Amino acid sequence: MKYRVEKDTLGEVRVPADRYWGAQTQRSLENFRIGPPGSMPKAVIEAFGYLKKASAIANCELGVLDVEKMNVIAMVCDEIITGELDDHFPLVIWQTGSGTQTNMNVNEVIANRAHILSGKRLGEGKRLLKPNDDVNLSHSSNDAFPTAMNIAAYGMIGRKTIPGMQQLRHELSVLSEATMDIVKTGRTHLMDATPITLGQEFSGYVSQLDHALAAISNTMPHLTELALGGTAVGTGLNAPEGYAKKVARTIAQLTGHPFVSAENKFEATAAHDALVETHAALKQAAVSLMKIANDIRLLASGPRCGIGEIRLPSNEPGSSIMPGKVNPTQAEALTMVCAQVIGNDVTLSVGGMQGHLELNVFGPVMIANILQSAELLGDASLSFAFNCVRGIEPEQERITAHLERSLMLATALNPHIGYERAAEIVKRAADSAITLREAAVLSGYLTAEEFDRWVDPGKMIG
């Protein structure tokens, strides 16, 4: 491999000749060999593309950056946003907690790529842009990385999480409406309970997702407050007057999202409470989805030796040794995602505590976890919606058989003969292995005609 020499304040460093990064990126590569190279999420790099472009535009409008430099920065940032330069961002999540090295990676790539666009070769001649003085003008890593975090999180949740969960909610709603008249046995404590309709059961899942989506949506505005303009500690040192609001407006225009300048830059750099709050909503969604997926695989258990009241799509063979076996794989995948998200929430909670005085130093791991959660929830919801829920079919014969055998239909007798007598009938039916109707008639507390009139599952569903 060929190398070229790059310099920073610590001296010279050898860098791969065909890569746009510089000395500070190379030092990070060598000092933090933790996990796979390039693990810093691409969504963060894309967010930096918007951030650096907006900053150049704002600086130019404020008269501190000339038009030529602004134009070439914007040109390279467009390449970053579209992913054309992804190979030039090799850093890992596990680096400095401020994300300084990723910020400098972006600065160096922009400066060196601009050098190439000017018709020169890397390492030769004077560069048009300096990474710190031009690309990083008017901001620091301490306000840039938190800004990139918010841009990336807002974009991922809006692009992946919410649409995926909305689609799943839609499929569950369609299924609920289609099965609203199918009366079945309800269950509490995994034991038989009073009747419910299959549609009512699924309507509960729809409501859960409504609440989860509302919780996520309610946190989104807090992600729109950007730290940029606070510079190192929130005072705005070295940022020209008007920069913070102007750069936030420009980011909003470039992304199409309602970003604004954070009112208090000290909070924006020292704490990431908005990310903690947002991930708490993602965790709520994971808790809801875990319950929904588990219920669906319980209702589908069998096909002959379980509950078996619904049939799931047969997407793939379920066993390498048992012929014909089909497993609830979509439910398994979704619940594994939920477990991951719930675990990620611990990382967000611990990370949010690490705001030591004027700077939170857990930024990279916090944004990596929230982006993973947001993407997984969106993808898994879509997969579950299309590959499971959409193909669910009720097993009417099994539903009817379970309903007719349920002893909890005796609850309808309470107003007529009292709880204790009804319980006596249930115990007699269970001990003698006879039907509830037979036990009721044998008790002498009511006639067969009264039983048929009082115990009607269709009238017990509310």
- Give the active site residues: 189, 319
Beta-bridge mates of residue 3 = 16
Q: Which of 365, 389, 396, 341 is nearest to 216 (CA)?
A: 341
Is residue 100 a known part of a binding site? yes
Rounded to whole angstroms, the Cα distance separating 261 from 401 reads 62
Helix H segments across 322-387? Answer: 329-352, 363-387
Is residue 98 a known part of a binding site? yes
Is residue 218 a known part of a binding site? no
CA angle 315, 321, 326 (to 5 degrees): 25
CA angle 123, 129, 130 (to 5 degrees): 80
Burial 378-393 (b: 16+ CB within 10 A, else e): bbbbbbbbebbbbebe
CA 168 to chain centre: 14
Is residue 99 a known part of a binding site? yes
Dihedral, CA of residue 51, residue 53, residue 54 and residue 55, to nearest 10 = 80
Single-letter amino acid, residue 91 = L
Tokens standing for 329? 């794989």
Beta-bridge mates of residue 16 = 3
Measured CA to CA in angstroms, residue 384 lies from 43, 285, 290, 389, 410 at distances of: 24, 14, 12, 6, 37
Q: Which of 414, 402, 462 is nearest to 440 (CA)?
A: 414
Is residue 400 a known part of a binding site? no
Helix H segments across 82-226? Answer: 100-117, 141-156, 162-178, 198-223
Is residue 335 a known part of a binding site? no
Is residue 188 a known part of a binding site? yes
Is residue 118 a known part of a binding site? no
Neighbouring C-beta atoms of residue 317, cutoff 10 Å? 12
Tell me the binding residues for substrate. 98-100, 140-142, 188, 320, 325-327
Tell me the binding residues. 98-100, 140-142, 188, 320, 325-327
